[in-house]
Structure 1
């Protein structure tokens, strides 16, 4: 069986990392794998020898690629790949197509439908579908109606939906009306031996030299979704009570805004925005607490990764994923979204009384890579079998 995995590029956040994990996991089990990408950013990516990277290139798609390098036209650039993906599906005829992220599912669905090919299509719902709508208050109701119509029309064209959390699954079903047997929840394949190896690596930073001053850590892109302003305000409250440092690992368009807020709150000596770091696990294993301040998620891998490093965690109770990962707050505190006072209180409580490290490590084992890969393969082979082809 040849499995095609469709993703925007091989560099990016959690959805990209899970796609690479799945591709390598499928190949290790003897399946032929095509990683079909829109943007060619595969240099330096570690891939199994059984994984072939296919970059979609066709005609005027090149024009959007050039424009996208100059100005942000990612949406149009993504949509422009539909004809090239159609050609790939017709020419290569993979046994199944897995679209690996919510923001490209529409492209995958339209390409499969217009190509008039017969391979099954499985969509991976990687994020909470309506999470960012309230950031557009003048158009909120119109966007909600458009989202419900788009998902209600397009998602049923797919053969099956894999949701990364129960919360995402419920929201997808609410918006699409799909029955239970068309949607399967599979937690992300995250935890493997590589985490312990990378977590053991040293970190050369002065703030880790003093064990009496706790380091609070956040990891993720500097975007509206991650709501770092609330975290920084919460840290200001923590800093008013005790000495501590805050390190944020990640890069993004909100850097200037966040640096300005740090300066306004007079936290320059205690907050560091260090940009993208190749090995965040080394930081996680040495931090006193990791904080997720997001306004929405799908299944935030950073929480799982921190647990696998034995790092205590605090999270907003955002839709969706944190409540499931942290078992209703039993593994780590959950606080309301945008509530810097509650977030600060939770951080201070955890610093004073950390959760049992062994309990954190045990919970992380529920998100093992091998279990996740096998669960995906069960869905994919079932869809191939339902179409009358051999999944072997």
Structure 2
């Protein structure tokens, strides 16, 4: 029995609705299982398109909570019943619940929380009191974690400056983005007229349609690109800014050359065939989609936002970096990238973000 408990590791996340942090936790759960660990993937509510991608050896625990906070009693019961050796959580509200649950359960479980966004940027733009309470909770509870994983050096520095965490408490582990499944999905059959041979190159963006991703800047930049270069723009994702983006597309007369098809389960087959991938965000924690596109050999352009892209691209070595919100600089970088005959070997750089490398570091910090 003790041997069984030493091997069990739990991962806690609100749901599998389709965000970058959720995919990373799913990747980690599958890789832990491949290493022979007993893995429980605990969800506040079992919902979202990534559910179908769960590794068959990973046990799903559905706490059936309407909100993450309401999952606290169920998580406490789980910890008392299963007593995993370690609990890894992601996303700040889930991190706080994980640490609170450990205190209430009073069991010897090692809790590691992971931060996937630049806290100062995310909270500064959130207009409700919830973010302020979360920020205060981070300052109170995060020091009680065995470790805090930051997904980039920029996120780590932000945690020190904003949350006042000790730098010794923080471990920087780049996201385990590149998996074998990514390449398998990229090679799935794909029949879309925009990606047919001889068609104009497609400029691709992927992400939730939110303020953070700043797709209005990408659309305006594309309007400038199209004046000098035949091209099309496709943005994969769903979110509250859809109507705003659709209105902008109409105002700029781009209806025939801009597509917003919504969330897709497999963005990788689009990434592999794109002429250039663009990350236009105002802020990030890391920039998973940037690495995914690079792994598939697609040239990339990114804003130099806090945090992640400059670290991924090594300050422009692997792709052009432009100031946040600069329409003209973004358009120029896209045109230059499309016109380039020889691109950096971005696929080789993406190997530095392979799941195998990150998993070793997570296993070490979790103590399993």
TM-score, normalized by length of structure 1? Answer: 0.87
- Of 40, 44, 51, the residue aligned with 1:38 is 44
Q: Answer yes or no: is 1:155 the counterpart of 2:145.
A: no
CA distance change for structure 1 residues 227 and 154 in 2, over 3 Å: closer, same or farther? same
Q: Answer yes or no: is 1:365 the counterpart of 2:361.
A: no
Structure 1 contact 331–355 (Cα < 8 Å) conserved:
no
- TM-fit CA distance, 1:119: 1.1
CA distance change for structure 1 residues 136 and 47 in 2, over 3 Å: closer, same or farther? closer
Q: Answer yes or no: is 1:176 the counterpart of 2:166.
A: no
- TM-fit CA distance, 1:134: 3.7
> Unaligned regions of 5+ residues in structure 1, if any?
66-76, 382-390
Provide the residue aligned with 1:235 in structure 2.
222
- Of 76, 85, 89, the residue aligned with 2:79 is 89
Q: Answer yes or no: is 1:316 the counterpart of 2:303.
A: yes
Give the Cα–Cα distance (whole angstroms) in 2 for the partners of residues 190 and 334 of structure 1.
Answer: 21
CA distance change for structure 1 residues 344 and 374 in 2, over 3 Å: closer, same or farther? same
Aligned residues: 361
- Pick which of 332-341 and 145-154 moved more: 145-154
SS of 1:247's equivalent in the other structure is strand
- Of 5, 16, 29, the residue aligned with 2:11 is 5
Give the Cα–Cα distance (whole angstroms) in 2 for the partners of residues 325 and 34 of structure 1.
Answer: 30
Give the Cα–Cα distance (whole angstroms) in 2 for the partners of residues 362 and 103 of structure 1.
Answer: 35
CA distance change for structure 1 residues 100 and 188 in 2, over 3 Å: closer, same or farther? same
* Alignment of structure 1 residues 1-392 onto 2, 5 Å: 1-41=7-47, 45-57=52-64, 61=65, 65=66, 77-135=67-125, 149-211=136-198, 213-353=200-340, 355-356=342-343, 359-381=345-367, 391=368
- TM-fit CA distance, 1:332: 0.5
- TM-fit CA distance, 1:156: 0.6
Structure 2 contact 93–134 (Cα < 8 Å) conserved:
no
SS of 2:273's equivalent in the other structure is coil
TM-score, normalized by length of structure 2? Answer: 0.92
CA distance change for structure 1 residues 332 and 355 in 2, over 3 Å: closer, same or farther? farther
CA distance change for structure 1 residues 177 and 314 in 2, over 3 Å: closer, same or farther? same
Q: RMSD over aligned Cα, in angstroms?
A: 2.0
The ranges of structure 1 where at least 4 consecutive aligned residues each deviate by more than 6 angstroms after the TM superposition are 142-145
Structure 1 contact 230–293 (Cα < 8 Å) conserved:
yes
Give the Cα–Cα distance (whole angstroms) in 2 for the partners of residues 328 and 50 of structure 1.
Answer: 39
> Unaligned regions of 5+ residues in structure 2, if any?
1-6
Give the Cα–Cα distance (whole angstroms) in 1 for the partners of residues 24 and 309 of structure 2.
Answer: 17
SS of 1:82's equivalent in the other structure is helix
